[in-house]
Structure 1
Amino acid sequence: MSRGSFVFSPTALRSLAVDAEMLERQRHSRQAGSYRGYMLKKEARDRAAERPSVSAAAPPAVCRDVVVQNALYTGDVEVLQQLFPRGARVNMVIEPQGGDLRWTTDGEGLWSLTYEQELTTPLHITASRGFADCLRLVLQRGADVDLAPGGITALHEACENCQPECTRLLLLHGANANAVSEDGLMPLHFCSLPESLECAKYLLQYGAAINGRSLEEDDTPLHAAARNGLVEHVEMYLRYGAQVDRPNSEGLTALNAACAQPQERSLLDRYFRVCQTLIGAGANVCTLDQDKRTPLHRACRNANPDVVELLLANGASVNDMDYGGDAPMHNILKVVCFKLSHQPERVVRALLNYGSIRVWPGNLPMVMKHCCESPRTIEVLLNAYSRLKVNDKWVEAVPPESYKAHQYFYDSVFALAQTPRSLQHLCRCRIRIFLDGRVLKAIPKLDLPTFLKNYLLLDYRGYVH
């Protein structure tokens, strides 16, 4: 409709003016309301940014509720769902009563024996026991994944107790793979059992420092794995770039640490494989710790014959002295009576075949006294001498019970007081002196029967002649 066709009466014009004024007021009102709403939202956002979250600001609560503790320690996920509904507070410290007594003071000079209190959390309890469903529930309820009231995080405990699924869950929810305990250890240092291999894998995948050091000893994860005889851990750490010859605060490399660890008879092969892996990766077999002890000194002290032979075959020095003046031979002879099941005679034989120094003849009675329960060790040692001055001191050095148990051998030794060594033995000594350090290289190449080669290499016969 054109403007000229519309009838503009005074009443119509006033009505249009009123409508226009009302529309203008409504437009201004909407603009003002929109601006005020924007300012309120902005203020709310600013306050939220300035104000810490409730979980970060509020300290963990102390929980002494037996029902909660029982549900956590038994892994009852259904009860935990009821105890921890959405929005429930899950950052709490639990104080279970330990089994050890300790002295405590009340601050007024009075001391009393009380049961030691351990500090833990729902995360620690579920992670250390492998209750993955319970752990997942607690994490979903917003538990602080790096809370460490007892000095270690839940991730440390999951690794220590070989719980790979719990380790993965914790890392997936942001746990620090390099968290340091109050003792200065990272989670990788806690992977100390063969069953913890999967835990170590997850840690490395989530950024654990392969050459991270403990605070006090400066141990790397490779030190920890070698010290505990963990072959697969050592192999994996080397693949991830572990430094094979990095020393700790005592000057021990991973190879030193593996050789230094006391080893039960059943674990000798594990430690041999660890040393074999480290040497294959380029470990220095002649490295010295702060006491100038080499891996060979340590291996002899622990009477691991396979490791001793491995070190010698790879260039270990057989006659290096430590600060105390002891050579590897001294170290093995000091522990023979404690390591009878370890075949200490093999260690003594290997050292002599690689040119080790011998015991001063005047000290042989003392050696017999300390090694009397291992006739083979004494046999190998005595066969390194062309002449022996056997006297009453030798007889007195052997306890009656040992003599009775090995009478045939000791009778052959004591008979040397009236009889010189046999011509066959003297020939053996002469050949060994001539070869001087080349015994193990030359004798296997000689065109001789096997039993003669073994004889030249100080094989055991059960008597001396």
Structure 2
Amino acid sequence: MDCTFPLCSATQRSLQPARWKNSHSVRSHHSEHSLSPDGSGHQHSCLEPLECRDLLVQNALFTGDLDMVQKYFTKGAAVDLVIETRGDVLRWTSTKRGLWSLSYEQELTTPLLITASRGHTACLRLLLLRGAAVDFAPGGRTALHAACAASSAVCARLLLRAGAHPEALSEDGHRPLHLCCKSSDSIECVRLLLQHGASVNSQTEEENDTALHVASRHGLAEHVQLLLHHGAELEVKNKEGQTPLNAACAQHHQPQDMDRYYRVCQLLVESGASINAADRDRQHPLHLACKNANAQIVELLLARGANVNVMNYGGNTALHNILQVAAYKLEHRPELVVRALLNHGAVRVWPGSLLKVLRYCHLCPRVIEALVNSYSHVRVSEDWEAAVPAEVVQKYPCFYQSLFSLGHKPRSLQHLARCCLRTLLEGRLLLVLSQLHLPSALHQFLLLGFEDVLY
């Protein structure tokens, strides 16, 4: 929320309200209950909301100046004012002369919402004591929405104790619980809402997301654990047909966030989430995890029996998905995903398409290494050398020289033996190897361990 306010002709006055005309924007009216000075709820009459354009009043609210707020909001003064501020969203507006300009959308707010959104607990408490309507929402959301979005547990507690509705629906179809599942700092807000009767499985109006969808999408393991403890449903699907597990696997994340998303998926899977749940495009969690090149999640899903060769509507398997993004996910180590899929029985790329894969994935030689080592023989031609830029060959000289040399010499006997054994144990490779007491080096060799050179 921006602190820029409309100018007022008399800024030295205390409060000079004017009639508020945008009655169609009111989402909820005055609550019948507010907090009395002794902490108990009392009824008050529903007055027509008044508009405040006074800069001094607005600045006192936005800065949390308790002395000034006490001065302006004395006993008996209007508390449920409507304040117009500049929002964060740009939109095109037309002037009287027919010209269009890009300006920030104007938002309607209240003193209670301003103080709640900024964590000004002393001011918020004062406004509640002065009888502020706790669910008044001229701008489409309540003060509780604002407190939860700001991860202000103290403000949320004050509002809930004053009778704020934990299931209030904002203009864009969100409940407070949905908003406080977007930040790791809001875990206490989640606890408070659930303690005060918020429904753990309520869905947003447009996306049909539950709080578990939102927390999973943002990689918030602690939130996910708390929601599951309170009975969050695992298989609810949103508008895109995603379960919370799908949502977690689909969310793009940076390498430093891979552990967080793995922990979220681990919690969901261990709680019984379906690992083969498909969304509207028949994308399974494995497809989505491969698009994000998260090897930990891929290994988790495969270990739980995910179908490694299932296709989406586009005809792509999980292996297709990781090869398509490998060049853009180098820091995620996509080679680990490729190796995991191959070791779990993924149908290999048609040998005639390996040259195309090389053109796309030459920046990640270990992806090429894993693929080439899954075949006993690969026909390497001069086109392969032309497919790799000279600067990439200079960066990985040993690997690419060994790759190009396969065009005129056979693979080593050791490699051929590996391929023979992998073919023999196809579909049972990991199960059998786990029962054999093989030396670590041999075990890694059979599982396509990386050597950065081809023999």
- Please give the TM-score of this superposition, normalised by the length of structure 2: 0.88
Per the alignment, residue 326 of structure 2 pairs with 336
Is 2:218 the counterpart of 1:190? no
Q: How does 1:129-278 map to 2 (within 5 A)?
A: 129-191=118-180, 192-278=182-268
SS at match of 1:116: strand
RMSD: 1.6
Per the alignment, residue 301 of structure 2 pairs with 311
Per the alignment, residue 86 of structure 2 pairs with 97
Q: By how many angstroms is 1:377 displaced?
A: 1.1
Q: How does 1:295-374 map to 2 (within 5 A)?
A: 295-374=285-364
Provide closer, same or farther for how the CA distance between residues 439 and 215 of structure 1 changes in structure 2, counting only shifts above 3 A.
Answer: same
Is 2:277 the counterpart of 1:287? yes
Q: By how many angstroms is 1:93 displaced?
A: 1.4
- The answer to whether the Cα contact below 8 Å between 1:250 and 1:290 also exists between their aligned partners in 2 is yes
Q: By how many angstroms is 1:160 displaced?
A: 0.9
CA displacement, residues 167-191 of structure 1 (integer Å, 9 cap, x when unaligned)? 0111111111011111111111101
Q: Provide the C-alpha distance between the structure 2 equivalents of 1:359 and 1:217, rounded to a whole number of angstroms.
A: 37
Q: Provide the C-alpha distance between the structure 2 equivalents of 1:54 and 1:198, rounded to a whole number of angstroms.
A: 29
Provide closer, same or farther for how the CA distance between residues 182 and 390 of structure 1 changes in structure 2, counting only shifts above 3 A.
Answer: same
Q: Provide the C-alpha distance between the structure 2 equivalents of 1:414 and 1:115, rounded to a whole number of angstroms.
A: 58
Q: Which runs of 5+ in 1 are unaligned?
A: 1-52
Q: By how many angstroms is 1:109 displaced?
A: 4.4
Does 1 or 2 have the higher relative contact order (CA < 8 Å, sep 6+)? 2
Q: How many residues align?
A: 413
Is 2:49 the counterpart of 1:64? no
Q: Provide the C-alpha distance between the structure 1 equivalents of 2:138 and 2:387, rounded to a whole number of angstroms.
A: 58
Q: Provide the C-alpha distance between the structure 2 equivalents of 1:57 and 1:232, rounded to a whole number of angstroms.
A: 41
Per the alignment, residue 392 of structure 1 pairs with 382
Q: By how many angstroms is 1:115 displaced?
A: 4.1
Q: By how many angstroms is 1:242 displaced?
A: 0.8
Q: By how many angstroms is 1:105 displaced?
A: 2.5
Is 2:110 the counterpart of 1:126? no
Bigger helix fraction: 1
Q: By how many angstroms is 1:108 displaced?
A: 7.3
Q: Provide the C-alpha distance between the structure 2 equivalents of 1:361 and 1:112, rounded to a whole number of angstroms.
A: 57
Q: Provide the C-alpha distance between the structure 1 equivalents of 2:282 and 2:204, rounded to a whole number of angstroms.
A: 23
CA displacement, residues 223-261 of structure 1 (integer Å, 9 cap, x when unaligned)? 111111111111111111111111112211111110000
Provide closer, same or farther for how the CA distance between residues 114 and 277 of structure 1 changes in structure 2, counting only shifts above 3 A.
Answer: closer
Q: By how many angstroms is 1:59 displaced?
A: 2.6
Higher Rg: 1
Per the alignment, residue 73 of structure 2 pairs with 84
Q: By how many angstroms is 1:384 displaced?
A: 0.4
- The answer to whether the Cα contact below 8 Å between 1:145 and 1:154 also exists between their aligned partners in 2 is yes
Is 2:385 the counterpart of 1:402? no
Q: By how many angstroms is 1:142 displaced?
A: 1.3
Q: By how many angstroms is 1:99 displaced?
A: 6.5
Q: By how many angstroms is 1:125 displaced?
A: 1.1
Letter of the structure 1 residue corresponding to residue 424 of structure 2 = F
- The answer to whether the Cα contact below 8 Å between 1:444 and 1:453 also exists between their aligned partners in 2 is no
SS at match of 2:109: coil
Q: Provide the C-alpha distance between the structure 2 equivalents of 1:81 and 1:183, rounded to a whole number of angstroms.
A: 33
SS at match of 1:242: coil
Provide closer, same or farther for how the CA distance between residues 197 and 290 of structure 1 changes in structure 2, counting only shifts above 3 A.
Answer: same
Letter of the structure 1 residue corresponding to residue 294 of structure 2 = N
Q: Provide the C-alpha distance between the structure 2 equivalents of 1:146 and 1:182, rounded to a whole number of angstroms.
A: 13
Q: Provide the C-alpha distance between the structure 2 equivalents of 1:238 and 1:391, rounded to a whole number of angstroms.
A: 55
SS at match of 1:256: helix
Letter of the structure 1 residue corresponding to residue 194 of structure 2 = L
Letter of the structure 1 residue corresponding to residue 60 of structure 2 = A
Q: By how many angstroms is 1:448 displaced?
A: 2.4
SS at match of 1:119: strand
Letter of the structure 1 residue corresponding to residue 162 of structure 2 = H
Q: By how many angstroms is 1:444 displaced?
A: 2.9
Letter of the structure 1 residue corresponding to residue 165 of structure 2 = N
SS at match of 2:51: strand
Pick the aligned partner of 2:421 from 425, 428, 431: 431
Provide closer, same or farther for how the CA distance between residues 211 and 54 of structure 1 changes in structure 2, counting only shifts above 3 A.
Answer: closer
Is 2:434 the counterpart of 1:450? no
Letter of the structure 2 residue corresponding to residue 320 of structure 1 = V
Q: By how many angstroms is 1:100 displaced?
A: 5.9
Is 2:91 the counterpart of 1:111? no
CA displacement, residues 177-215 of structure 1 (integer Å, 9 cap, x when unaligned)? 011111111111101111000001000011101110111
Provide closer, same or farther for how the CA distance between residues 150 and 427 of structure 1 changes in structure 2, counting only shifts above 3 A.
Answer: same
- Please give the TM-score of this superposition, normalised by the length of structure 1: 0.86
Q: Provide the C-alpha distance between the structure 2 equivalents of 1:211 and 1:145, rounded to a whole number of angstroms.
A: 24
Q: Which runs of 5+ in 2 are unaligned?
A: 1-41
Q: By how many angstroms is 1:101 displaced?
A: 4.9
Q: Provide the C-alpha distance between the structure 2 equivalents of 1:224 and 1:113, rounded to a whole number of angstroms.
A: 31
SS at match of 2:374: coil
Counting aligned pairs with the same residue, the percent is 53
Q: Provide the C-alpha distance between the structure 2 equivalents of 1:55 and 1:410, rounded to a whole number of angstroms.
A: 80
Provide closer, same or farther for how the CA distance between residues 154 and 215 of structure 1 changes in structure 2, counting only shifts above 3 A.
Answer: same
- The answer to whether the Cα contact below 8 Å between 1:340 and 1:374 also exists between their aligned partners in 2 is yes
Q: Provide the C-alpha distance between the structure 1 equivalents of 2:50 and 2:44, rounded to a whole number of angstroms.
A: 11
Provide closer, same or farther for how the CA distance between residues 134 and 371 of structure 1 changes in structure 2, counting only shifts above 3 A.
Answer: same
Q: By how many angstroms is 1:404 displaced?
A: 1.2
Q: Provide the C-alpha distance between the structure 1 equivalents of 2:90 and 2:220, rounded to a whole number of angstroms.
A: 34
SS at match of 2:91: strand
